[in-house]
Amino acid sequence: MQTAGALDEFRNEPFTDFTAAENKTAFEAALAKVRGGLGREYPIIIDGEKISLPSKFESRSPFDHATVVGVFSEGDTDTSLVEKAIAAAEKAFATWRKVPAAERAAYLFKAADIMRQRKHELSALMVYEVSKTWAEADGDTAEAIDFCEFYGREMLRWSEEQPLTRIPGENNHFQYIPLGVGAVIPPWNFPLAIMAGMTMAAVVAGNTVVLKPSSDSPAIASAFMEILEEIGLPNGVVNFISGSAATGEAMVTHPKTRFISFTGSKGVGLHINEEAAKTRPGQIWIKRVVAEMGGKDAIIVADDADVESAAVGVVQAAFGFQGQKCSACSRLIADEKVYDALLDRVVELTGKLKVGSPLDADTDVAAVINKRSYDTTLGYIEKGIAEGGRLMTGGKGDDSKGWFIEPTIIADVKPGDTIEQEEIFAPVLAVTKARDFEHALEIANGTEFGLTGALYSGSQERIERAREDFHVGNLYFNRKCTGALVGVHPFGGFNMSGTDSKAGGREYLLQFMQGKLSSQKV
């Protein structure tokens, strides 16, 4: 276990090689163990008190409607819970903010150590709850470990003496102090990594939080709360409420909420930003909003690209975790000189993907998250074809047991078409033909989003041009546009993709702190 006093340099947690027989056997054992514990009830937790409400809801597996992953109290039915949770967080903040940064960081290192020991069990729970394939779930858990290890180290760095210009006759000191009570509202698609990263970044900076996970993924958040209890995190530092929109709204609008950390859809993010901007009675600050709101990400393939490498990267980025990543490639923009050859190869590779249960080690594409996503996605596919797109593969769904949609490619999509503009968040790839590299850049920048993007090209000149003019927060060259690593690829985007939060970057913790200067005459 890492301790604050003797830290190694940060290293990303290795991914599991499931081609190794011993790793496959270990993960199968974890799936069996988790299966045996499915259906249990998880409590709301406020100031360490475990609360059960009469009204419940179930988290059901997306790939098997009959499988109940967990049972949860419906926090929306008790309007006093948010008030109680914020009061508990406010009380805890009075002491937590004074805990030395090294001690706060040590809690993160302990949490990372436990997650590392239980990596397969946490990943297996995500397989059941959000239908992640083995590799996708393993990557999620590794990223959660990375966030704890990285943010712990970063807090130690920010707590050091900060540089100032010195003048005679004064001793000046600049420090970063925490903000207060925060509302943390994470998404379901990275239910451990993003949830843990958002929560523990705020906590290590000295804040206290009220955490409301997505109602599609409360079980993995509950498992994380059990880890926080195990490491002895003081009561009230992280308070947990399972619920839906009403609970989140109450957290956002409460006058004692100092900041809101949100990852999710553009519509919800804009609503949160609007509500947070309103000053309510008893509020003595301007609330801070940290928002990551999705994207409509494009991979450009130039006429001098390695078509095979590009095709592999596009398929991985478009259909990994069923396209349910804000970083996923949902648009392929290809130079007309390579358009047909590239399209043929992308279709061929997509046809080799195995669609099925994520319980199987060789499944590539599993179920989308819920019925709403299933219905909406099929509607987008119909819209894409109706607007002139050419269905190349996929296009069908199967909801007999779970929410399965075939990996779908629609070619000849025009700039400005619905599926070229709107985030679908599903295994649907829109393919657009560009006249040349300049036209491709114009198309790529022609949405309201700006999260990730990629360019495949053999020209360094074009790469430098894209570096200058491809307007996204995370830009990749000759590789896929998904798979950002903590500390390596600080993550966050422009425009309607959010506040460019740069999760996993050196400046991320500053969003949860404020600077204080003290000056003493000598």
> What's the pLDDT at 1?
44
Mean pLDDT of 217-243: 98
- For the segment 139-159, what is each residue's pLDDT rounded down to a tens digit? 999 999 999 999 999 999 999
Locate 53 and state its tokens: 């409400």
8 Å CB contact between 214 and 191: yes
> What's the pLDDT at 6?
67
For the chain, give the mean pLDDT: 97
- For the segment 417-457, what is each residue's pLDDT rounded down to a tens digit? 999 999 999 999 999 999 999 999 999 999 999 999 999 99
8 Å CB contact between 452 and 472: yes
Which neighbouring-strand residues pair with 56? Answer: 73
Mean pLDDT of 46-70: 98
Mind listing the domains of the chain with CATH numbers?
22-293+501-521 (3.40.605.10), 297-485 (3.40.309.10)
Using CA atoms in the order 139, 158, 198, 80, what is the torsion angle rounded to 10 degrees?
160
Mean pLDDT of 378-397: 98
> Would you name the residues annotated as active-site residues?
292, 326
Q: Please give the angle made by the CA atoms of 396, 483 and 424, to the nearest 5 degrees.
A: 35
pLDDT band at 480 (very low <50, low <70, confident <90, very high): very high
> What's the pLDDT at 353?
98
8 Å CB contact between 504 and 487: yes
φ, ψ for residue 61 (rounded to 5)? -70, 130
Locate 314 and state its tokens: 């596009």
Residue 113 half-sphere exposure, CB side, CA atoms within 13 Å? 12
Mean pLDDT of 496-501: 96
Rg of the chain over all Cα atoms, to the nearest angstrom = 23
- For the segment 305-343, what is each residue's pLDDT rounded down to a tens digit? 999 999 999 999 999 999 999 999 999 999 999 999 999
The DSSP secondary structure of 200-236, one letter per residue, reads: HHHHHTT-EEEE---TTSHHHHHHHHHHHHHTTPPTT
> What's the pLDDT at 3?
45
Percent of residues, the chain, with pLDDT higher than 90: 98
pLDDT band at 76 (very low <50, low <70, confident <90, very high): very high
Mean pLDDT of 119-124: 98
- For the segment 249-292, what is each residue's pLDDT rounded down to a tens digit? 999 999 999 999 999 999 999 999 999 999 999 999 999 999 99
